[in-house]
Chain A
Amino acid sequence: MHALRCLLVLTPLALLALGVALIFGSVPLSLADTIAVITGGGEPLHRTMLLELRLPRALSAFAVGGLLSVAGALMQVLLRNPLADPYVLGLSGGAAVGALLAMLAGLGVALVSGAAFIGALVSTAIVFGTAHGTGSWTPTRLLLTGVVVAAGWSALISFLLAISPATELPGMLFWLMGDLANATQPLAPLLVLLVVVAVAIPFGRSLNVLARGPQQAASLGVAVRRLEWTVYLSAALITATAVTVAGSVGFVGLIVPHMLRLLIGYDQRLLLPASALAGGTLLVLADTMARTIIAPEQLPVGVITALLGVPIFLWLLHRSQAS
């Protein structure tokens, strides 16, 4: 009942955000124009603007926001640490190095995305391989490995920025901050989001049990090692997908699961689909702001999410200490 109510609130909010993203932009459209285009009419210019520019971008934003939030929620359970986010294990650093190398080599958008994806997977493999060590990996060990690997990537990023020609720098910085300007193919990330949420929900109860510690979970019948592997690899894969589409958009994966936990509780079966919806909604709105605040110029969406995310997060943290 409770679950149904949450999804009944979040779904219209998501649709509303998509509507807002279609109407607003450097050239605002009237509601009537937008409806005309959606129903199959409207002026050709409006049609092009809405269906070929704004809609794919808004859907990409939705997918990326949803993916990052789900990945954040998964990482927080896996590491049993509420401060974990999708990038905590150094994945975004690996992706960034891959992307920057591709840009430096003068490759096109598609190859930059491909390089980012490979970079993310390389980072995942390094962290998981070394954290595993000789024995079993503990959350602390995984976290420490991730933090150190991330520091290594960030040094490489600084190095690449230092040796890059000035003309490449704006593009690189936009990528590093997270930017949806090149996100024109929403289908693949949306599909990944749908599949991951559909697959994750049946694991939800096991994840609830896992949050009580690996031994307790094992004694309640959870195949802990297998579940942890699955969670880690799927979180890595969906983060890599998100980063490939939009660069490293920060804070969504940290904040959205947190806010939802305060609002709807800790049941992963509800939290994961709700994260997908709320994260998507948030990033669609943030990207609409990124496109309109200084129009016709655009901001990287990561700036907006960070500017919104930092105060919200500090407020949440302050509030949770008080209670």
Chain B
Amino acid sequence: MSAPLMALDGLCVDVPERADGDPLDCRFEGGQSWAVLGPNGAGKTTLLMTLAGLRTPRRGRILLEGTDLNRLPRRRIAQRLGVLFQHHHDGFPATVLETALMGRHPHLRAWELEHADDVRAAEAALARVDLLALAERSVQTLSGGERQRLAFATLLTQDPTLLLLDEPTNHLDLHHQIAMLELIGQEVAAGRCAVMATHDINLAARYCSHVLLLYPDGRACWGSTDIMLSVPALEQLYRQPLATGTVDDLPVFLPRTGG
């Protein structure tokens, strides 16, 4: 049996001034999409950054295809694992195509120039997020939603097997939220794995096979979506009364006022 894409071994993320909470022992496999749900400050972003190897965990290990993340050079990690950040820094202005091309960085040697293949990959990714028409535009002229889609196109160009997505639907209008999740769904269907932090329970219910609930006090539980998304668990998670119903045979959750 081959090692899972990523396995957590008693992982405890380092959220300052919080008790250790439950150690995480999840396994992220190809073909799965995970939603990380939790209220503000529960440590969703911290968890994703830790999984990406950008933060040191308090304890426990992260195994990427069976190898301890600590032991892998950044370049090797970036060939397997990509991150969509919540905030985007443009640095010095570049064009949309140049930005997407940066996704090829971990696949190129230091002295290598981008090949025609790399440019084609970047253009294909831009086409998928509906930005190819803006390829020559400066990043600084883009709207928030366009930047978010560009960041995702860069991630698609990077072509990792494990996608860590911090609120992927941020800044997106309704149509592009669905378009984004469909794209993530296509990646998962192709055998990759997506782990996304989100506040949208309904999109999680629709698009994710697994759910990880993070409580503010460090408690955590995880499992398949149909089991995890129960009204009592979610009401306790968000400390918010919820109403539920069914649309297209899928559950929907709405916050109740008052209560």
Contact = CB atoms under 8 A, between A and B. Distances in A.
Interface stretch (A154-162, A182-190, A213-221, A305-313): A213-221
Interface stretch (A48-56, A204-212, A274-282): A204-212
A208 B92 CA distance: 8
Contacts of A219: 52, 54, 78, 81-83, 85
B83 A212 contact: no
Contacts of B52: 219
B181 interface: no
Interface stretch (B14-22, B69-77, B121-129, B240-248): B69-77
A interface SS class:
helix
Contacts of A47: none
A220 B78 contact: yes
A222 B158 CA distance: 13
B110 A211 contact: no
Contacts of A266: 92-94
Contacts of A210: 91
Interface residues on A, range: 20 to 34
B92 A221 contact: no
A223 B110 contact: no
B175 interface: no
B56 to A, nearest CB: 12
Given A205-B108, A209-B102, A221 B91 contact: no
Contact of B105 (A82, A202, A220): A220
Contact of A223 (B54, B73, B91): B73
B110 A221 contact: no
Contacts of A203: 110
Interface string A107-125: 0000000000000000000
A261 interface: yes
Given A206-B105, A218-B54, A219-B54, A261 B111 contact: no
A46 interface: no
A221 B94 contact: no
A141 interface: no
A217 B93 CA distance: 15
A205 B110 contact: yes
Contact of A216 (B85, B94, B110): B85
Contacts of B77: 221
Nearest to B83: A219
Given A218-B74, A220-B78, A205 B91 contact: no
Given A209-B105, A212-B89, A202 B158 contact: no
Given A208-B102, A219-B52, A221-B77, A261 B92 contact: yes
A82 B75 CA distance: 28
B90 interface: yes
A139 to B, nearest CB: 11
A221 B89 contact: no
A271 B81 CA distance: 30
Contacts of B82: 219
Contacts of A212: 89-91, 102
B106 interface: yes
Contact of A211 (B78, B91, B106, B111): B91
Given A202-B111, A203-B110, A212-B91, A223 B74 contact: yes
A80 B78 contact: no
Contacts of B54: 215, 218-219
A216 B111 contact: no
Nearest to A202: B110
Contacts of B111: 201-202
Contacts of B74: 218, 221-224
A205 B114 CA distance: 10
A220 B90 contact: no
B89 to A, nearest CB: 4
Given A218-B54, A220-B106, A211 B83 contact: no
Contacts of A206: 105, 110
Contacts of A220: 78, 102-103, 105-106, 158
A261 B103 CA distance: 22
Interface in B23-64: 49, 52-54
A76 to B, nearest CB: 8
Nearest to B49: A215
Nearest to B158: A220
Interface of A: 77, 80, 82, 201-203, 205-206, 208-213, 215-216, 218-224, 261, 265-267
Interface of B: 49, 52-54, 73-79, 81-83, 85, 88-94, 98, 102-103, 105-106, 108, 110-111, 158
8 contacts: A206-B110, A208-B94, A208-B102, A212-B102, A216-B83, A218-B54, A219-B85, A266-B94
The 6 closest A-B CB pairs, nearest first, are A221-B78, A221-B106, A211-B91, A213-B89, A202-B110, A221-B75
